[in-house]
Amino acid sequence: MNKTDIKNENNASIKPGNFITEIIDEDLKTNKYGGKVHTRFPPEPNGYLHIGHAKSICLNFGLAETYGGLCNLRFDDTNPTKEEVEYVDSIIEDLRWLGFDWGDRLYFASDYFEQLFEYAVKLIKKGKAYVDSLTMEEIRGYRGTHTEPGKESPYRNRSAEENLSLFERMRAGEFKEGEHVLRAKIDMSSPNMNLRDPIMYRIRHASHHRTDNKWCIYPMYDWAHGQSDSIEGITHSICTLEFENHRPLYDWFLDELEIYHPQQIEFARLNLSYTVMSKRKLLQLVEEQIVSGWDDPRMPTISALRRRGYTPESIRLFSERVGVAKRDNMIDVALLEHSIREDLNKRAMRVMAVLKPLKVVIENYPENQTEELDAINNPEDLSMGKRRVTFSREIFIEREDFLEFPPKKFFRLSPGTEVRLRYAYIIKCEKVIKDNKTGEVLELRCTYDPATKSGSGTSDKKVKGTIHWVSAVDAIEAEVRLYDRLFLVEDPSYEKEKDFMELINPNSLEILDTCKMEKSLLNSKPGDKFQFERLGYFCVDTVDTKEGKFVFNRTVPLRDTWAKISKTS
RNA sequence: UGCCCCGUGGUGUAAUUGGCAACACGUCUGACUCUGGAUCAGAAGAGUUCAGGUUCGAUCCCUGACGGGGCAGCCA
């Protein structure tokens, strides 16, 4: 099966091809792997997954799905000093949440430690690997530079017997960390640094999250990765560009071992504007408490996006849209935002909430009277039905929806003008009550036109604006958190002069704790998503929402044409 | 200074493998609207980094320059 066949079978699900599908199509045509496509996603459990990983996940699992193959989940857990179970748990949770399934193919590189050891013995016997006893500093010195070739270690020509014995003793724990390493014997003058006798094993007297204290020698990435791919029968081992120079080494090991040989293919990792993607930097943000944790909604991690209200569908859609290629890229965060708006527009229940309330008293509306008005849950999907909202003499409107001295094209409320209250009546602003000292607007006095009740058809009065509101009699109070980009510049890592920590947006979080919401929200549960009409998409926070205290996260604001107009004029 | 990879509208990705560049996001108009949302209609914006070469014809092939990225962890 190739791209063309997929098109024929289902026109609706054609995915754009890329250089990787081209390679696979070619391999299928030449029957390189017996018609098989088998990929893997190989995270190191040393941090949380982020949106860049999502691209890789969608690519690997997506390719398997597209070609009717399989994709394994394999933890690349070869460095016990940096890896933790907390991370493997979070990674599995995120992958499941994104909607991917690896069946019973959950693997760990540490599962292969014994096999890897045997492979190493094979190379030693073949004279292709040796135990080096230089210090770390000496090894660095012997490696040479980009322009000068390296020098061979004096230990390079130990006999196979001596190497074997030393390697066994390394495993047995007879040496201290740093005393010896196992190296591949390749070429100290190779222009490719990775081929200058790369280290295969180092001694670490550390307990591993899976193998505990069974091992005190641990394989390096290059030694573990290709062989793990081989053991699992991976056909296309897809990784990011920085491993391109490692491919000759990947191939060398497999060729010398004479075992099944998958092919490594490199693509450009995802970069998102106004954020950072390196795990080291994200960890720093967490440790220095710039954010509340890996799942702080401002983070680009999967857990943060989930908490912020992103859906798995929107992230998968985004991952499709960013494409796959080899050139460095910087994806506009607007594309991510577009993806979630598009998804939520179709599915999110609409509701009214006032973030920065301004009290309005409707003077000609009877005291103690209330009425229930029909409101549509989602104009994009009428099957979602209707709900009732309470209308009363006292309501709250958004402070921003009133301007005492309105500029041109301001369609909202101002002294003497009329505006429609969504699903209710048209009101007119009669009086502005202000604080004598500060001049702050405290309250509005309005009148309503009973003939303009929503849906009654008893008035053909037209107004330019419609605003949202919440009745004061049964409004529920809630906290709302508004998020903005975490960094002030598009590419915080690009700035040469400044450290990325100096480029943090000091206003990336705004907490509003006097928000008023319609009573229907009382039934909402953590994780529920809504569109607050005219404001944006919000979700009930899963961490800080407690019995009797609602906390909402703004996932993304609605497109705001007025903001653009008012900004430019 | 060495090696490897990459250069297509503001951003990202395409171009049936050599037939004068398409799609998405963004931007800007207009229509519609009881969300200044959504939707609909439309517009602007690249001659494919540059210079040679091959060819009837080059985004695509070749050469060179320029630009960007990666590589000197006992990290992955």
Residue A507 CB-half CA count within 13 A: 1
| A34-55 pLDDT tens trace | 999 999 999 999 999 999 999 9
**A414-455 pLDDT, tens per residue?**
999 999 999 999 999 999 999 999 999 999 999 999 999 998
Lowest mean pLDDT among A60-69, A190-199, A401-410, A452-461: A452-461
pLDDT at A12 over 60: no
Per the DSSP assignment, residues forming a β-bridge with A202 are: A181, A218
- Spatial separation of the C-alpha atoms in residues A209 and A76, rounded to whole Å: 12
| pTM for this prediction | 0.95
SS3 content of chain A, % helix, strand, coil (to 5): 35, 25, 40
Q: Is the CB of A177 under 7 A from strand B?
A: yes
Contact, A17 CB vs strand B, < 7 Å: yes
Look at residue A8 in the predicted model and tell me its pLDDT.
31
Chain B footprint positions (protein CB, under 7 Å): 1-8, 10-15, 17, 24-28, 34-39, 68-76
Separation of A465 CA and B29 C1' (Å): 21
For A463, counting Cβ atoms within 10 Å of its Cβ (0-12 exposed, 13-18 middle, 19+ buried), the class is middle
Q: A521, A553, A525: which is closest to A539 by C-alpha?
A: A553
Rounded, the Å distance between the CA of A18 and C1' of B53 is 30
Spell out the residues 6+ positions from residue A494 whose beta carbon is closer than 8 angstroms to its own: none
pLDDT of residue A18: 95
Q: Confirm whether A400 is a catalytic residue.
A: no
How far is residue A198's CA from residue A390's CA, in Å, rounded to a whole number? Answer: 72
**Nucleic chain B: which protein residues 92-151 of A have CB below 7 A from it?**
134-136, 139-140, 143, 145-147
Report the 3 state secondary structure along A285-343: HHHCCCCCCCCCCCCCEHHHHHHHCCCHHHHHHHHHHHCCCCCCCCECHHHHHHHHHHH
Out of A269, A326, A359, A445, the active site residue is A269
Q: Quote the mean pLDDT of chain A.
A: 95
pLDDT digits (tens, 9 = 90+) for A474-514: 999 999 999 999 999 999 998 878 899 999 999 999 999 99
A497 as an active site residue: the answer is no
- Which position among A44, A266, A337, A418 bears the catalytic label? A44
In whole angstroms, give the CA distance from residue A137 to residue A157.
20
